[in-house]
Amino acid sequence: MEKWFIKSGKSDINFDNLNLSNYMKKILSNRELGTAENVQSFLNPDISNLHSPILLPDLIKATNLIMQNIRDEKRIRIVGDYDVDGVTSTFILCKGLRNIGANVDYKIPHRVEDGYGINENIIDCAKNDGIDLIITCDNGIAAIKALEHANNLGINVIVTDHHEVQYVDGVEQLPTAIAVINPKRSSSKYPFNGICGAVVAFKLIQQLYVINGKDEEEFMNEFLPFATIGTVCDVMSLVDENRNIVAEGIKKLNETTNIGLKAMIEACQIEGSLDVYHIGFIIGPTINSSGRLESAELSLELFLENDYSQAMVMAKELRELNQKRQKLTEEGYLKVDKLIEKYELDKKLRILMVKETSIDESIIGIIAGRIKEKYNRPTLVFTKSKNFLKASGRSIEEYDMFENLGKYKDKFRAFGGHKMACGLSIDEDRLKDFIVDVNNNSNLAKEDLVKKIYIDSVVPLEDVNFNMISDLEILKPYGNGNPKPIFASLNLKIFNFSVLGKNKNVLKFDVSDGKNVRRGLYFKNVEEFIFELGNELGLIDEVYKIVDNKNNSILVDLVYTPVINEFRGVKNVELRISSMRVSKKKL
């Protein structure tokens, strides 16, 4: 079940001086940009509009300490994280510091053996190795106890992070460190706090390049692609500074001279110009695969590699790891989905919590996300980890997972997360009561579990043409905070129906309003299509006739994004359909 809504972004923007179509004005109003000036900046992203690094809290302190360590020839260690943002931020810091003469190495914690972020064991190893300064990236803001340990051992620490700052009884809790660079600190004067860990690292190196009189263009060419990958893969909102970074960063990425990055692009068989899709769905998962199944340092070593033949060996290994991860994920997803099919998804089971101990803990978050998407319910997937259970959760907008599950943190060994996702550890004998309590105390209503489709604008089919698609190009890059425009067209007939793909999960057909015809592509299993549309009609046989091209009398409404499809030099407008229903004449 799903409901369709037309977005109604409130806006007092004066569009008079902007030569824009009505649907473009509607889309920009839905982005809630506030003013015509903001619209101009949004439509014309420029790298020159980046905020000054020195506005970040403690950044000057950090650069002073780093330069003193370089002059004194002291050892520096970067401690990163095993996800894409962690790997890219570690690369930026490590390579950037080496470029200005620092004696620096790195440590990325192992997902299973070390867990997330810096810990006392990592600090003890640093002490034994004669490290004088630790710089964290994409972690550290919550490592209060660990950094107290570093302080007691006489190791200086600089924290670079972008995660939420902890508060106790309304008082901000910062770790013991020489500098804590985080735009979310209460004292921060930085104009935009939505940057990722890689961008925080990028800003620190940018200021160090200024201090050392190094070339700014050289800096941007080398590091902006990695700040862009971190931003996209950490699902940062592509507004304000992030939009400028990604818009320019994609250009730099397509021109990169980084040997490892070029090898990864070749190993992944990416052809043509890279865009946000390639970053988010090919490059990012390939980087992530090392941190999930092996060590994230494999990806980092690739980006630091200078020999292309060796880089290709490493890139192919990562590609194979990602393929293995995809296979394990699909197998795990099918196991979990099969368990859920046995459940009665009624009012008592609003939050899905499934235990499948055969699944590797590194992929339970991906599986939870896919299950959540299918059933539109908050989902936690549990698996075995040592002598207890680990879970990863993904939520829907109507359910604050961190707040609601945080009420039971006395039952957990560990717990962390935010509104839309969480991770936790729990003893197995506590799981059953936990599931019962969470569902019994859930305030989710039945209507909260209905999937909501938000549409930018309803447009007649004749308006969906090359000119429209050309107009939409200016909205790129798309991503979180700036999604692809979603349109709806109503009361259309389906004909020329065909089923593509070895799994029969690509549906191709034409649609018409009686005067205009457009080609539609719907990524949906044909049996699911027949069942969903037929159920709504109450006439499964009639939908079979549509599929067999024996009946086109049923009117449908479509939700889609228009694209240009080019095949053998011929370009056509195509509707990439995301949802469909039997026509009700109006929304």
Residue 11 or residue 77, greater confidence: 77
At 194, is the pLDDT very low, low, confident or very high (cuts 50, 70, 90)?
very high
- C-alpha 284/C-alpha 258 separation (Å) is 16
Which tokens go with 365? 């978050």
What would the mean pLDDT of 435-446 be, rounded to a whole number? 90
In this prediction, residue 10 carries a pLDDT of 67
In the structure, what pLDDT confidence band is assigned to residue 97 with cuts at 50, 70 and 90?
Answer: very high
Fold of 53-214: inorganic pyrophosphatase (n-terminal core) (3.90.1640)
229: nearest Cα among 295, 301, 277:
277
**Average pLDDT estimate for 310-335:** 95
Closest CA to 181 of 195, 170, 171: 195
Residue among 136, 82, 131 nearest 109 (CA) = 82
Is 524 a residue whose pLDDT tops 70? yes
Mean pLDDT confidence for 178-203: 97
Q: What is the pTM of this model?
A: 0.90
| HEC sequence for 477-521 | CCECCECCCCEEEEEEEEEEEEEECCCCCEEEEEEECCCCEEEEE
Residue type, 91: F
User: What is the structure's pLDDT at 536?
Assistant: 61
Residue 136 has pLDDT above 60, yes or no: yes
CA distance 302 to 516: 51
Q: Which residue, among 240, 61, 249, 226, has the nearest Cα to 138 in the 3D structure? A: 226
pLDDT (average), residues 459-479: 93
pLDDT at 587 over 80: no
Mean pLDDT of 151-165: 95
- Domains of the chain, residue spans: 53-214, 343-449, 452-582
Mean pLDDT score of the chain: 91
pLDDT value of residue 586 = 53
Percent of the chain with pLDDT over 70: 97
pLDDT of residue 346: 54
Q: Which fold has domain 343-449?
A: Diaminopimelate Epimerase; Chain A, domain 1 (3.10.310)
The span from the CA of 77 to the CA of 157, in Å, is 10
Average of pLDDT values for 259-276? 95
Predicted confidence (pLDDT) per residue in 342-369, tens digit: 776 655 678 999 999 999 988 999 999 9
**Cα separation, 92 vs 224, whole angstroms:** 9
| Residue 512 predicted with pLDDT over 80 | yes
> What does R_g of the chain's alpha carbons equal in angstroms?
26
CATH match of 452-582 with 3.20.20.70: no
Residues 6+ apart with CB under 8 A from 245: 47, 50, 199, 224, 227, 228, 231
CA distance 530 to 544: 7
Q: Quick one: pLDDT at residue 542?
A: 75
